[in-house]
Amino acid sequence: MRDPDLFILARVVHVLGVVLWIGGVAFVTTVLLPALRRAADPARRLALFEELEGRFAFQARIVTVVTGLSGFYLLHYLDAWGRYASAAYWWIHLMTLVWFLFTMVLFVLEPLVLHRWFHERATADSDRAFRVVQAMHWVLLALSLVAVLGAVAGSHGYHFGSP
């Protein structure tokens, strides 16, 4: 059954999820990591990062699940699966890729590999470890912002380079 009110609610939840998720990534990338990199004491830097990252990771996990579920519901409701076959809808591909990357990092790589890897690297060479993590965050933030730009324009009918 196609309930237009449920569609509107799903879109609201999806946009709110994206705002919280990508806004959080922007804060971590542009504010938190640079501030931690300037901290003088590497041991305190690592402890503070792990404390704050743990809190944000919990929020990010919830928001990425909600955003993914609402996004897939929107695709289902609109019967828009065919857009994956069109280059004009590149932003749907990118949104899905960004969601997949974050989901893999948050639910698989971070708990199983990245947490231990980063702790070991930051203990051995804090400056280098934080540079690498910040660079990875910049890449993810850039991809995310391009996806948001494309999604907003594309969902309002603008298709880059299309007539």
Instruction: Give the number of other Cβ atoms within 10 Å of residue 25's Cβ.
Output: 20
What percent of the chain stands above pLDDT 90? 79
Structure tokens at 125: 């060479």
Q: What is the pTM of this model?
A: 0.90
Chain-centre distance for alpha carbon 55: 15
CA atoms of 21 and 65, how far apart (whole Å): 10
> Per-residue pLDDT averaged across 16-30, rounded?
96
For the chain, what is the mean pLDDT?
92
CA atoms of 127 and 56, how far apart (whole Å): 22
Residue 139, φ and ψ in degrees, nearest 5: -65, -45
Structure tokens at 55: 């809190």
* pLDDT-derived band at 40, boundaries 50, 70, 90: confident
Residues across the chain: 163
